[in-house]
Amino acid sequence: MCRRPRRGGRWAAAAARGGRSLAVFAKMADFLPSRSALSGCFPGCLLTSTEAEQQRKSKEIDKCLNREKTYVKRLVKILLLGAGESGKSTFLKQMRIIHGQDWDRTAREEFRATIYSNVIKGVRVLVDAREKLHIPWGNPDNQNNGDKMMAFDTRSTMVAQGMVETQVFLQYLPAIKSLWADNGIQHAYDRRREFQLGESVKYFLDNLDKLGESMKVIKHSEQILKTALISKNTQLVKLYENLESREKCLLNEAFQPDSVLFRPITLHSESDWISSHPEPTQDFEQFYNDPYRSRPTSQKSAIYVQPIGSFGDTKVSTEDYMKWLKDYCEAFYYGLSVKILEPVPVSHTSCAFRVNEYTCNLQIHAGDLLKYLKKKKPEDAFCIVGITMIDLYPRESWNFVFGQASLTEGMGIFSFARYDSDFYSASYKGRLKRVKKLPSADYSVFDGYYTPVISSLLLLRSCKTLTHEIGHIFGLHHCQWLQCVMQGSNHLEESDRRPLDLCPICLRKLQSAIGFHIVERYQALLGWMDEDRSGMDAELRNEATMGLLKPVEAFKECREWVLKCLDVLQK
């Protein structure tokens, strides 16, 4: 009974703070009509599970509010005013350099899209200026190129944000080159004092060859894509014909040359997966006839996920995060059930571990984890995948590995450690101060070891990795047909470039393995992205409850894409 006044006091305090906190309290009270009587009479251990859960959430909201308060108090806001091209963003970039934050590959890649956008904008300004200043073309044939540039569609979300995709830029590159070489455009450039032109445009236009360097679009002909999807085997064509017509409508987008849903793969550099790991392609027929691929059966149909080590941070519990991943996989592998096993600490797996001598972070032995998973694989499992926030290594001589799998045994282990946005920076919190040899049986080094903050981006990256890797267990090879979550990736920037979902060819493979209705699968994906959001007050969502709701901000573009697919499927 000694707990009564303290608990009563805490609830009262939450209510007395009023405003936002009170609103949350009132929302929870909907489920607890006699909240005050209950909290006054029973100690915490007698609460029902719903009440205990709500109490936990209430505590988290309090913690969250306190943390935000301190954060806001310490925040210094600076307003930078200045005309276009006066150096506002340059100032911020310089601040970043002064404070020792290096530009990693992902950050550098983000500039690529901005540079493309600046070049296109600059050329449009020059074409327009030439016209208005009545300067004749050096080569009248360039009128067509000028018209093409002026017809550039500036309405897409990406362009509105000052970015242009590589694939789009490459389409315009020949026209841009020809225009920049034209005397008329050069003459207009000489008169640039009479109009506004970005300072850096000349630099980039002089280096157009470098901008398009090592970029390659893998474009297959319509016929090749059609055969990869439908095949020429009469039995498989018949199977295709049996699909619903709206499903075929969506799948056929694979070979529509101007499809907005499925685009060709763009290689950005020699270090991209396809350039550095040449592999044979796998079309639908090869997949369908592969005698070695595993298929879910009625006895073995569940996908098991085994969390290893801690996942939660101060805002999100391991349990919440696992639930989001489970629900996502259930939508993606629509029709199969995904079961999360009780999380285990690293010590339970008896795996070897080490400190990486370059990155100074803890790593666990991937092969040992696979041996552990083999013992744990339940009878009804189609596959079991272990996931961890701790980095992995496959053998002493290797630096690291993102994951390792045994396809024949339906097992895999994957780490999300390197998806932390800070992993490659000097300030990464998972670095140990001293690199020393660790005693092999002492797992206490993992107690309280750093786990990444569960951001929306981390959730997006985890969803992609998990579904990509489980896709391999189904027998799907790396996709080389169209942009697809099954594309191989050699580095973080490349895996970020991959879309969240499958291309039609891989979708048909998965559909034939599981047998779902395509429309229902897309509805489930949309449902996952929308769940938790509806009916929630916008202000509440943004502040007090940030850590309690699924952070789906990074899925915004994917959601728009799923809606477009559903449009085709529901016509």
The catalytic residue positions are: 469
- Residue among 42 and 400 whose Cβ is closer to Zn ion: 400
Rounded distance, CA 335 to CA 329, Å? Answer: 10
487-491 contact pairs (CB < 8 A, 24+): 487/265, 487/273, 487/274, 488/273, 488/274, 488/277, 488/279, 489/273, 490/271, 490/272, 490/273, 490/276, 490/277, 491/105, 491/271
DSSP 8-state code for residue 84 = T
Least distance (Å) between residue 425 CB and Zn ion: 26
Least distance (Å) between residue 408 CB and Zn ion: 16
Cβ–Cβ under 8 Å, residues 547 and 316? yes
Least distance (Å) between residue 297 CB and Zn ion: 24
What's the 3-state SS for 391-423?
EEECCCCCCCECEEEECCCCEEEEECHHHCCCC
Please identify which residue in the block is written with the tokens 């930078």: 80
Rounded distance, CA 420 to CA 394, Å? Answer: 20
φ, ψ dihedrals at 308, nearest 5°: -120, 120
Cβ–Cβ under 8 Å, residues 481 and 254? yes
183-202 core/surface letters (b: 16 or more CB in 10 A; e: else) = ebbebbbeebeeeebbeebe
Chain contacts with Zn ion (rule: CB under 5 A): 479, 484, 486, 503, 506
- Selection from 383, 403, 385 nearest residue 394 by Cα: 403
Least distance (Å) between residue 403 CB and Zn ion: 8
* Tokens found for residue 251: 């799948």
Cβ–Cβ under 8 Å, residues 329 and 501? no
Least distance (Å) between residue 281 CB and Zn ion: 10
Q: Please give the distance of CA 403 from its chain centroid, rounded to a whole number.
A: 17
Rounded distance, CA 113 to CA 230, Å? Answer: 35
Strand, coil or helix: 221: coil
DSSP 8-state code for residue 437 = P
Least distance (Å) between residue 254 CB and Zn ion: 9
Cβ–Cβ under 8 Å, residues 435 and 359? no
Least distance (Å) between residue 305 CB and Zn ion: 18
- Residue among 185 and 503 whose Cβ is closer to Zn ion: 503
Least distance (Å) between residue 506 CB and Zn ion: 3
Rounded distance, CA 16 to CA 101, Å? Answer: 43
- Residue among 251 and 503 whose Cβ is closer to Zn ion: 503
- Residue among 489 and 545 whose Cβ is closer to Zn ion: 489
Task: Give the number of other Cβ atoms within 10 Å of residue 409's Cβ.
Answer: 15
Least distance (Å) between residue 470 CB and Zn ion: 11
* Tokens found for residue 35: 């909240």
- Residue among 479 and 492 whose Cβ is closer to Zn ion: 479
- Residue among 163 and 473 whose Cβ is closer to Zn ion: 473
CA end-to-end distance (rounded Å), the chain? 63
Least distance (Å) between residue 503 CB and Zn ion: 3
- Residue among 121 and 498 whose Cβ is closer to Zn ion: 498
- Residue among 486 and 500 whose Cβ is closer to Zn ion: 486
- Residue among 125 and 479 whose Cβ is closer to Zn ion: 479
- Residue among 364 and 506 whose Cβ is closer to Zn ion: 506
- Residue among 61 and 479 whose Cβ is closer to Zn ion: 479
Strand, coil or helix: 214: coil
Least distance (Å) between residue 360 CB and Zn ion: 27
57-91 core/surface letters (b: 16 or more CB in 10 A; e: else) = ebebbbebbeeeeeeeeeeeeeeeeeeeeeeeeee
Cβ–Cβ under 8 Å, residues 204 and 211? yes
Strand, coil or helix: 363: strand
Please identify which residue in the block is written with the tokens 């308060």: 69
- Could you give the count of Cα atoms lying within 13 Å of 220 in the half-sphere of its Cβ? 23
To 5 degrees, how large is the angle CA 143–CA 149–CA 154?
A: 155
Rounded distance, CA 318 to CA 346, Å? Answer: 14
Rounded distance, CA 462 to CA 550, Å? Answer: 13
